[in-house]
Structure 1
Amino acid sequence: MSPLATSHPALQSLRALLNGFAQIFLQQHPGCGLLVLIAILIGAPDLLPGALLGGLTSMLIAQRRGYPPADIAIGLYGYNGILLGLLLSLKLPWTPLLPVLIITSAAFSSMLLAPWMQRMRKHDWLPAFTFPFVLLGWLMLALVIQLPLPLDTPAGTPAAPELSFLQLLLGVLRGLGQVIFLDSPLAGLCLLIGLRLADGRTALWALLGSSSGSVLALFYGWPSDGTLAGLYGYNATLAAIALAQVYRCPLVPAVGIILALVLQPGFSALGLPALTMPFILACWLVKASAQSWQQAVKHSTPS
């Protein structure tokens, strides 16, 4: 029997929760999840209660509804809820309504993910990734705009620091942190250590993804404050990690990085927060193209 099967139920739940934090970066490693949690403590400790509430809610709903225990154990029913808890805690002050919104959205994230995963496994659907988080995040943000609540927005935007190698390096680390709404380079470094703990190759691709975001943003003349804040790195980071796990050819994650960067500005034009949708679309486009190519080759090969 595995250690997980013989451990105390509370330890199983803790391990599943930590795996949920790690799954934000597509990892299945409690140590990585713990470092993600520590990164939140470093970069924005006020967001941690919402993250924990969202993760616990999505996990408990999955347990109550009888979803596969193996999926729960590896954190697949945690990361969308954690991201929703982070997003809503970032946008709203702590009022009695905030926990209600987090619990509701996190619960729905598990109920959306379960049938999607079932169809993915049976009918080869595209992976859900963080789509439940994005869809429910858009709905929640649209809802809170209609409510008479003060939004937690910064009073002013500080002037962007002068471009230098050091600032670009810090921007790359911030690109890792922006996956979970953190702009602290130290938090980004903590995340990088967590990824290295889970898998060294993944950590390298995460760095390449975030670095590519900074380089392309500078090349196209996008605002330097966004570049140095890592806002153009986080979707490229996730695309690089996700595609490098599936495809051994380095050209495939490189294409995903470019697609994520090209798609991101379009959401501003639509008036929607990008969140992680550019990463999702980039991976869907790559996977759908690969599937179409395989089908074309299969049909063109003589039997």
Structure 2
Amino acid sequence: MTSENPTYRNTATRFTLINQSLKGLGQIMLQENALTGFLFLVGVLIGSINMGIAVIVSVFVATLAAKLFKFEISGIDKGLYGFNAALVGAALILFSKPTLIIWCFIVIGAIISTLIQHFFITNKVTVFTLPFVLVSWAILFIINHFLPELNITASPVNTYDEADFGFAFRGYGQVIFQDNLLAGVVFFVAVFINSPLAALYGLAGSIVAVFVSQLFSIPVENINLGLVSYNAVLCAIVFAGNKTKDGIWVLFSVVLTTIISQYMTTLPFPQLTFPFVAASVTTLILKNNIRLSGKKNK
């Protein structure tokens, strides 16, 4: 079978789209790995079939949109246009009833997040999951004010009266809205497959966030559900490295994101991953400024 054969071309195109989409899922935790993305999808499906379907729809729509808009193929191949969309789909299923209009919002949100992501990529601005946060806030605002009947109160299936060490893995799970311990373990393994160091840093970040949260008297249930530590997991993965200074930046970003997260709990809208974005961008700016100052002094 040659590349000129229509069947071959169609099969290759489908395989490429699947690979790009799975990498998009992997990029939720900054991992450019299709297997990692597949395991993330498995973890989501463990917790919610509807959310799993929403993630699939979102990441495919975003990847297709990026292709149709003729965005740079290297970014599409790396999955850079899929992860924000996937999180939008997951968030809308978490906070809203899965009606037809919500599925329409998921598709629209996936496309808009792709356009916003492209704006930041072309301007060489690192914003991590900010497109997801902005799009989700906008859609949830519309739902809250104009379609309140579509809202649902997100209540955890599991409750915890005493502290346990499952919170470290549930922190992984909550990155994609999963409070299931098994899903969290699957997510950890998924990251470990691509980057053992990043996976372990993420676990450490989750634990450190809990210690920092003790300053704010956060309920044990929130800690055990991973609600305190998922932003810290992402921060730790971003700055993971094999040098001592990498560990310092991880610690700084984890402490900062935990503090920001705590103050955002008083706001009338979900914080999503904004504490991660704010802390990571702040840490990145500080890190770059220190590096540039060091070069000037040489």
- Mapped to 2, the partners of 1:145 and 1:193 lie a distance apart of 36
Q: 4+ runs of 1 displaced by more than 6 Å?
A: 156-159
Contact 2:67 2:76 in 1 (8 A): yes
Residue number in structure 2 paired with 1:235: 231
**Aligned counterpart, 1:192:** 188
Aligned to 1:145: 144
Amino acid at match of 1:116: F
Aligned 8 A contact 1:58 1:106 in 2? yes
Tell me, yes or no, if structure 1 residue 296 matches structure 2 residue 283: no
**Does structure 1 conserve the Cα–Cα contact (< 8 Å) formed by 2:197 and 2:241?**
no
1:132 is aligned to 131
2:173–2:230 Cα contact (<8 Å) kept: yes
Task: Provide the C-alpha distance between the structure 2 equivalents of 1:117 and 1:202, rounded to a whole number of angstroms.
Answer: 23
**CA offsets per residue over residues 15-72 of structure 1, 9 Å max, x none?**
1111011100100111111110100111122211111111111111100111111111
Q: Deviations over 1:126-176 (max 9, x none)?
A: x1200100011111111100233332225x667842324xxx221111111
What's 2:4 paired with?
none
Residue of structure 2 equivalent to 1:17: 21
Q: Which amino acid aligns with 2:81?
A: Y
The within-5 A match list for 1:260-299 is 260-299=257-296
Q: Using the alignment, how far apart are the partners of 1:276 and 1:200 within structure 2? A: 23
Counterpart among 252, 255, 261 of residue 255 in structure 1 = 252
Gap runs ≥5 in structure 1: none
Partner Cα separation in structure 2 for residue 278 and residue 221 of structure 1: 19
Contact 2:216–2:262 under 8 Å retained in 1: no
Q: How many residues align?
A: 288
CA distance in 1, matches of 2:235, 2:50: 28
Paired AA for residue 293 in structure 1:
I
Aligned counterparts of 1:36 and 1:158: Cα–Cα separation in 2? 20
Cα 1:159–1:192 change in 2 (3 A) is: closer
Greater displacement, 138-147 / 284-293? 284-293
Q: How does 1:23-172 map to 2 (within 5 A)?
A: 23-120=27-124, 125=125, 127-148=126-147, 149-154=149-154, 160-164=159-163, 168-172=164-168
Using the alignment, how far apart are the partners of 1:71 and 1:171 within structure 2?
34
Q: Which amino acid aligns with 1:173?
A: F
Give ranges in structure 2 of 5+ residues lacking alignment.
Answer: 1-8
Query: Cα offset for 1:275?
Result: 0.6
Q: Give the direction of change, closer, same or farther, for the CA distance of 1:158–1:49 in structure 2 (3 Å limit).
A: closer
Measured in 2, the distance between the counterparts of 1:157 and 1:184 equals 9
Give the distance between the partners of 1:159 and 1:67, measured in 2 at CA: 42
**Aligned partners of 1:90, 1:160: CA distance in 2, in Å?**
17
Q: How many angstroms apart in 1 are the aligned matches of 2:204 and 2:185? A: 14
8 Å Cα contact 1:91-1:151 kept in structure 2 = yes
1:209 maps to 205
Does the CA contact (< 8 Å) of 2:239 and 2:246 recur in 1?
no
Q: Which amino acid aligns with 2:46?
A: I
2:156–2:179 Cα contact (<8 Å) kept: no
TM-fit CA distance, 1:98 = 1.1
Query: Structure 1's 104 and 172: CA in aligned 2 closer, same or farther, altered over 3 A?
Result: same
Residue 216 to residue 111, structure 1, CA distance change in 2 (3 Å)? same
Give the direction of change, closer, same or farther, for the CA distance of 1:71–1:159 in structure 2 (3 Å limit).
Answer: closer
Q: For residue 271 of structure 1, give the secondary structure of its aligned residue in structure 2.
A: coil
CA distance in 2, matches of 1:85, 1:283: 23
State how far apart, in whole Å, the 2-side matches of 1:216 and 1:283 are. Answer: 17
Measured in 2, the distance between the counterparts of 1:14 and 1:199 equals: 22
Report percent identity of matched pairs. Answer: 25
**Partners of 1:218 and 1:227 within 8 A in 2:** no
Which amino acid in the other structure matches residue 93 of structure 1? K
Whole-angstrom CA distance in 1 between matches of 2:158 and 2:85: 33
RMSD: 2.1
Q: How far apart, CA to CA, are the structure 1 residues paired with 2:75 and 2:158?
A: 45
Give me the whole-angstrom Cα distance separating, in 2, the residues matched to 1:35 and 1:25.
12
